[in-house]
Chains A and B, each alone.
Chain A
Amino acid sequence: MEKKAETEKAVWQPKIIAFVCNWCTYAGADLAGTSRLKYDAHIRVLRLPCTGRIDPLFILKAFERGADGVLVSGCHPGDCHYNTGNYHARRRWTLFRELLEFVGIDLQRLQFAWVSAAEGAKWAEVVNAMVAHVRELGPFEGYHTMLARSGQTLWLAKAGANGGNGSGHDVPGTQPVERSKEKQETE
């Protein structure tokens, strides 16, 4: 369903959000930087106090804002600055993965890793692997179509002037009507 024509893929760049814990993976990413390790730039890193603080709400919001993939990474079990944050998180994600897979999301788009503060190289390798996976999969068509159908204007514009005919469309009034007919009404 998601294989894209070569040319469009050349233009399209994956948008990946990484939720990382402040004490380990963020420091690991820093180390990758100071060690001048090269890794793919199509990743945006968000720092949180602990993997235990990374809420499934955040992951859904990342997809809602157009992420094609989400990477979650933190301290190895046993290294957590708050002792048990990553253990609780691990249980939560074990279930969250099952749920997202059940509702039809390809788990290649949601990767989990443990990267310690000393593993700058592993961070670069994890990121490169993730970007490659998602580049292979292409844009997250399913979610973007759902967003366009739900009237999220950013995705409407991407989905062409008319995000969907009137009846199939969830939110009447969101699709931008052709410029000519529409009256500009900013009283």
Chain B
Amino acid sequence: MSMTATLTNIYAPYLMTVDEIIDEAPGIRTLKLAFQDEAVRKDFAFRAGQFGLYSVFGAGECVFCIASGATRKGYLECSFQKVGRVTNALRDVEVGDTVGFRGPYGNHFPLDEKIKGHNVVFIGMGIGLAPVRSVIWTCLDERKQYKDVTIIYGARSADLMVYKRELAEWAKTPGIKFVKTVDPGGNPPGWDGEVGFVPTIVERAAPSPEDAYAILCGPPIGIKFTLPVLLKLGFPPERIYTTLENRMKCGIGKCGRCNVGGKYVCKEGPVFTAAEMKELPAEY
């Protein structure tokens, strides 16, 4: 199989300009990135749930989801927490700087294939709202194609909540059942949302599993305790979707580190149903 004719540098990123920087919460920042290459900007497309490798030359690459809606063209957004070498470098970029982006990689939430025409419950925890937000905006941009929309979002405290402007917008939008909560003790004076961990609040909000899909993202501990609540409420495992986050370097199934059991999170994930998660060994 001669391959030389088709060889391109699959590790070469697109060059992106930082258009906007939004500080979501202490240590969490969102970057709005525009493609510098005109041709790429025109026909770049991705599906909600896909991720990319964001890079600062000299620091390296790291992986986050694409947080903007798949219906939004010409740019993409990512939200990240300052934890390591590359996120610290990303933290220092200013508007107008250039960063790299490689993607879109991985599978995606089956909106067109399955979820359209049904009820959908979005549950986000902490910065885990980023991948869910991409799906929410993709869904809200085509609101008529979905029946009931419920959004439940929780964070450790009010100031640690991300996309605060959009939370307020969703709260006011008719036709969205919106619930926000903070962990006990995280509520500031005059807090208008719920108080309690996401699993308890989901149980209390008790979204109906009838003809509904659930999309759930957050830290492994959050998923571990919220998943059983959804099952108890009657959501069948095949209709609960979540994403897995693993250490990644290549993002395209070569470097061998992101597998959970036999599944490469970068190729066969990051989106999995609860049913698929049950098959995976507890290695995430």
Direct interface between A and B, CB < 8 A: yes
Residue of A nearest to B40 (CB): A187
Complex Cα spacing A187 to B16, Å: 11
Query: A162-187 interface mask toward B, CB cutoff 8 Å, 1 = contact, 0 = none?
Result: 00000000000000000000000111
Verify if B9 is at the interface (C-beta below 8 Å from A): yes
Provide the residues of chain B in CB contact with A186, threshold 8 Å.
Answer: 12, 15, 37
Complex Cα spacing A155 to B27, Å: 37
Q: A185–B15 contact, CB under 8 A?
A: no
Interface residues on B, range: under 10
Number of CB contacts from chain A to chain B under 8 A: 10
Which residues of chain B in 1-46 are interfacial with respect to chain A, using CB atoms and an 8 Å cutoff?
Answer: 8-9, 12, 14-15, 37, 40
A109 to chain B minimum Cβ distance, whole angstroms, is 27
Interface of A is mostly: loop
Residue of A nearest to B39 (CB): A187
Provide the residues of chain A in CB contact with B40, threshold 8 Å.
Answer: 187
Provide the residues of chain A in CB contact with B12, threshold 8 Å.
Answer: 185-187
Provide the residues of chain A in CB contact with B8, threshold 8 Å.
Answer: 185
Complex Cα spacing A184 to B8, Å: 12
Complex Cα spacing A186 to B40, Å: 12
Residue of A nearest to B14 (CB): A187
Provide the residues of chain B in CB contact with A187, threshold 8 Å.
Answer: 12, 14, 37, 40
Residue of B nearest to A186 (CB): B15
Provide the residues of chain A in CB contact with B14, threshold 8 Å.
Answer: 187
A76 to chain B minimum Cβ distance, whole angstroms, is 39
A138 to chain B minimum Cβ distance, whole angstroms, is 30
A21 to chain B minimum Cβ distance, whole angstroms, is 28
Complex Cα spacing A186 to B57, Å: 14
Provide the residues of chain A in CB contact with B15, threshold 8 Å.
Answer: 186
Which residues of chain A in 72-123 are interfacial with respect to chain B, using CB atoms and an 8 Å cutoff?
Answer: none
Complex Cα spacing A185 to B12, Å: 8
Provide the residues of chain B in CB contact with A185, threshold 8 Å.
Answer: 8-9, 12
A166 to chain B minimum Cβ distance, whole angstroms, is 18
Complex Cα spacing A153 to B40, Å: 29
A40 to chain B minimum Cβ distance, whole angstroms, is 32
Residue of A nearest to B36 (CB): A186
Provide the residues of chain A in CB contact with B37, threshold 8 Å.
Answer: 186-187
A36 to chain B minimum Cβ distance, whole angstroms, is 39
A90 to chain B minimum Cβ distance, whole angstroms, is 34
Complex Cα spacing A108 to B8, Å: 49
Which residues of chain B in 43-82 are interfacial with respect to chain A, using CB atoms and an 8 Å cutoff?
Answer: none
Complex Cα spacing A98 to B37, Å: 54
Complex Cα spacing A186 to B14, Å: 8
Complex Cα spacing A187 to B15, Å: 8
Complex Cα spacing A186 to B38, Å: 12
Complex Cα spacing A186 to B15, Å: 8
Interface pairs (10), CB distance under 8 Å: A185-B8, A185-B9, A185-B12, A186-B12, A186-B15, A186-B37, A187-B12, A187-B14, A187-B37, A187-B40
Chain A residues within 8 Å of B, Cβ to Cβ: 185-187
Closest 9 CB pairs of A and B: A187-B12, A185-B9, A185-B12, A187-B14, A187-B37, A186-B15, A187-B40, A186-B12, A185-B8
8 further interface pairs, Cβ-Cβ under 8 Å (given A186-B15, A187-B40): A185-B8, A185-B9, A185-B12, A186-B12, A186-B37, A187-B12, A187-B14, A187-B37
